[in-house]
C-alpha cells in the first residue's frame, strides 16, 4: 500500500531564516505531487504541483520554491521566511494521469510558525 | 476563474442531529468532485463523485452530485462528537490538468 511521509511535523523559525520541508511517497511510481498551505481552520491553497522529476508548476507567486529531485520526493524551500509564511503545509499525491484515478492522498502535514 | 464554494462556513449541532453540507462549483471541464474530512492533521478521503444523481454512501455519511446545477451535498445522519471536523470539497478538471480546486471548508462541531 502507499504511504506518504512529511517532516518535520512542527517547526518554529525566525523571520529571514531558510526553510526546507520534505515529502516522500512509498508504494507508487510516477505520482503527481502537490504542496498546499492551509491557514488556520480553512481551505487549502495550492502552492506547487509536479507531474515528474524536475517538472514544477507554481500556482502562487511568493518567496517559496519547490523541487522534485527524485520520482517520489518533493521538497518545499525558502531562502528567507516571512511572517506570512506561517501555516500548515500539506504534501499530497495522486496517481499519474495514465492511471486515471482521481483520489488525492495527504501527508500528516508540517505546522510552521515564523517568529 | 474556477471556484468552489462551500456553505455554511461553520455549523454547531447536537449529537443525533442530521446535517447537510453544501458545495457548489464553477469549474471548466469538470471531471470529479471529492469530499474530505479533516480533524487535526491530514485530510482523509471520503467520497469521489463523477456522475449526477448517484448517491455514494458510507455508514452515516452520504453524498450526491448534481452536474446540471453544479453542486454536491454531504449528509451526515445521527451525528456523533467524532464527526466534529472540517469538511473539504475539491473539484478536479478533466485529464490534461492535474490540479484540484478546494473550497474553503465547513467547520462542523457536534456537541454531546
Specify the pLDDT at position A61. 65
Contact A51 B98 (CB under 8 A): yes
Distance between CA atoms of residues B4 and A93, nearest Å? 21
pLDDT of B90: 95
Positive or negative: CA dihedral A52, A54, A58, A63: positive
- How far apart (Å, rounded) are the C-alpha atoms in residues A39 and A7? 19
Q: What is the pLDDT of residue B40?
A: 81
Question: What is the tally of structural domains in chain B?
Answer: 1
- Taking an 8 Å cut-off on Cβ atoms, the answer to whether B104 and A41 are in contact is no
β-pairing, B30-38 vs B44-49, is antiparallel
The per-residue pLDDT for range B27-85, each reduced to its tens digit, is 888 889 999 999 988 899 999 998 887 889 999 999 999 989 999 999 999 999 999 99
Residue A98 confidence (pLDDT): 62
Name the β-bridge partners of A104: A94
pLDDT digits 0-9 by tens, A102-115: 889 999 999 999 99
Q: What is the pLDDT of residue A24?
A: 96
Q: Which of B41, B100, B105 sits opposite A109 (nearest CB)?
A: B41
Q: Is A27 on the interface with B (CB under 8 A)?
A: no
Contact B104 A34 (CB under 8 A): no
CATH of residue B98's domain is 2.60.40.10
Q: What CA–CA distance (Å, rounded) separates B21 from B8?
A: 7
Q: Which domain holds residue B90?
A: 3-111
Q: Assign domain A3-114 to its CATH architecture.
A: Sandwich (2.60)
Nearest to A74 by CA among A96, A90, A95, A61: A90
Instruction: Look at A44 and B88 and tell me if their CB atoms are within 8 Å.
Output: yes
- A53 to chain B, any CB pair closer than 8 A? The answer is no
Residues B104 and B5 sit within 8 Å (Cβ to Cβ): yes
**Average model confidence (pLDDT) for chain A?**
90
Contact between chains at A105 and B99 (C-beta distance less than 8 A): no
> With bands split at pLDDT 50, 70 and 90, how would you rate the model's confidence at B93?
confident
Return the closest-CA partner of residue A21 out of A71, A87, A94. Answer: A87
Q: How far is A89 from chain B (nearest CA, A)?
A: 10
For chain A, which ranges sit under pLDDT 50?
none
Domain ranges of chain A: 3-114
Amino acid at each position: 500500500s502507499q504511504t506518504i511521509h512529511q517532516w518535520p511535523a512542527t517547526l518554529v523559525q525566525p523571520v529571514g531564516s531558510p526553510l526546507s520541508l520534505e515529502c516522500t511517497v512509498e508504494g507508487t511510481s510516477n505520482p503527481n505531487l502537490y504542496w498546499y498551505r492551509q491557514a488556520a481552520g480553512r481551505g487549502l491553497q495550492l502552492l506547487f504541483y509536479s507531474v515528474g522529476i524536475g517538472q514544477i508548476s507554481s500556482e502562487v507567486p511568493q518567496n517559496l520554491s519547490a523541487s522534485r529531485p527524485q520520482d517520489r520526493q518533493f521538497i518545499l524551500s525558502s531562502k528567507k521566511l516571512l511572517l506570512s509564511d506561517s501555516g500548515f503545509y500539506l504534501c499530497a499525491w495522486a496517481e499519474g494521469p495514465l492511471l486515471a484515478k482521481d483520489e488525492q492522498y495527504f501527508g500528516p502535514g508540517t505546522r510552521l510558525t515564523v517568529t | 476563474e474556477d471556484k468552489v464554494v462551500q456553505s455554511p462556513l461553520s455549523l454547531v449541532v447536537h449529537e443525533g442531529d442530521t446535517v447537510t453540507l453544501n458545495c457548489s462549483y464553477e469549474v471548466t471541464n469538470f471531471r470529479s468532485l471529492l469530499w474530505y474530512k479533516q480533524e487535526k492533521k491530514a485530510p482523509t478521503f471520503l467520497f469521489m463523485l463523477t456522475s449526477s444523481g448517484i448517491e455514494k454512501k458510507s455508514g452515516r455519511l452520504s453524498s450526491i452530485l448534481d452536474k446540471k446545477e453544479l453542486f454536491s451535498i454531504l449528509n451526515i445522519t445521527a451525528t456523533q462528537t467524532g464527526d466534529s471536523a472540517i469538511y473539504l470539497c475539491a473539484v478536479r478538471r478533466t485529464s490534461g490538468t492535474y490540479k484540484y480546486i478546494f473550497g474553503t471548508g465547513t467547520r462542523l462541531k457536534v456537541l454531546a
